[in-house]
């Protein structure tokens, strides 16, 4: 399979990309800048493709989508890129994966990196600063992303769409004292992106270490899903294929 892993310079994205290569998949890795892309040389040297662009910049996301559509068809995307705080929270954690999902031609599996913090998110779309002019709320961003994953599963039965909580793990974002297992954290993403056993061929799930969990109630509310899709389409000028 050919799999794009966003945010793959380090942490969970890097671990997922390395596992995919080890398993014999074609992989496309992603870095925010050309300087950071240098750290991916061990993966590109093993045949991984590379795209570069800052997901805080919508034009960069559009360019990456066009670049990928012009190349070999992708089978799956692991939407791993994310930020914890600051003005990039909504652009990177929500807008970029929304645009890639709506614009990429071909992928039939999408895996979105959620978080247990989505339970603290507020299911309100009023006054959200999608353009990053002010700091965004991480829990809100992960609630919106997890809701988007569920909406995609509902509206596009031809696509497998799942959200994954990797746990609180000792990455650069999680910090050195995070208590969960770093080695296990990326494996559910890889499994959902490429697995062929019946348990992996599902859609609409919220997962933690290959076990489904119940997400925030708003995630499964079709009305909230539709409102979110409408706001994202209006904000970006790009509609999700299959949405109303």
Q: Which of 76, 55, 70, 205 is nearest to 132 (CA)?
A: 55
In order of their start, the domains of the chain are 2-236 (3.40.50.720)
DSSP classification of residue 240: P
Distance in angstroms (rounded) separating the CA atoms of residues 181 and 92 = 25
Task: Retrieve residue 77's tokens.
Answer: 């995307």
pLDDT in tens, 163-207: 999 976 555 554 554 445 656 768 999 999 999 999 999 999 999
Task: Enumerate residues 6+ apart whose C-beta is below 8 A from 244.
Answer: 226
Calculated CA dihedral for residues 59, 65, 69, 70, nearest 10 degrees: 40
The pLDDT value given to residue 242: 78
- Closest of 48, 57, 109, 106 to residue 79, by C-alpha: 109
Lowest mean pLDDT, pick from 17-26, 59-68, 170-179, 197-206: 170-179
* pLDDT score recorded for residue 89: 98
Task: Write the pLDDT tens digit of every residue in 98-132.
Answer: 999 999 999 999 999 999 999 999 999 999 999 99
Phi–psi pair at 89, nearest 5 degrees: -55, -55
Positive/negative CA dihedral, 46, 33, 113, 232: negative
227-238, pLDDT tens digit by residue? Answer: 999 999 999 999
- The stretch 38-53 carries a mean pLDDT of 98
pLDDT of residue 167: 79
Higher pLDDT, 178 or 24: 24
Q: Which two structure tokens, joined as six digits, stand for 79?
A: 């939407």
Question: Residue 139: which pLDDT band, with cuts at 50, 70 and 90?
Answer: very high
Give the mean pLDDT of 30-40: 97
Predicted model pTM: 0.94
Question: 101-138 in b/e burial notation, b at 16+ Cβ within 10 A?
Answer: bbbbeebebbbbbbbebbbebebeeeebebebeeebbb
């Amino acid at each position: 399979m050919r799999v794009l892993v966003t945010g793959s310079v380090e942490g969970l994205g890097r671990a997922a990309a390395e596992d995919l290569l080890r398993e014999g998949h074609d992989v496309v890795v992603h870095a925010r800048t050309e300087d950071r892309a240098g750290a991916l040389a061990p993966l590109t040297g093993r045949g991984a493709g590379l795209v570069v662009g800052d997901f805080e910049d919508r034009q960069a996301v559009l360019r990456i989508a066009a670049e990928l559509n012009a190349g070999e068809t992708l089978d799956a995307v692991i939407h791993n890129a994310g930020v914890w705080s600051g003005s990039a929270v909504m652009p990177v954690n929500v807008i970029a994966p929304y645009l890639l999902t709506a614009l990429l031609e071909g992928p039939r599996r999408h895996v979105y990196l959620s978080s247990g913090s989505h339970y603290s998110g507020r299911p309100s779309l009023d006054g959200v600063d999608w353009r990053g002019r002010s700091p965004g709320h991480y829990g809100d961003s992960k609630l919106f992303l997890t809701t988007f994953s569920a909406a995609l599963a509902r509206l596009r039965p031809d696509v497998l769409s799942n959200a994954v909580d990797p746990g609180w793990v000792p990455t650069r974002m999680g910090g050195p004292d995070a208590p969960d297992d770093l080695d296990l954290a990326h494996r559910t993403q890889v499994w959902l992106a490429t697995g062929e056993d019946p348990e992996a061929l599902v859609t609409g799930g919220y997962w933690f270490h290959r076990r489904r969990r119940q997400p925030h109630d708003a995630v499964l509310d079709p009305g909230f899903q539709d409102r979110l899709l409408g706001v994202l389409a209006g904000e970006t000028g790009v509609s999700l294929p299959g949405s109303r």
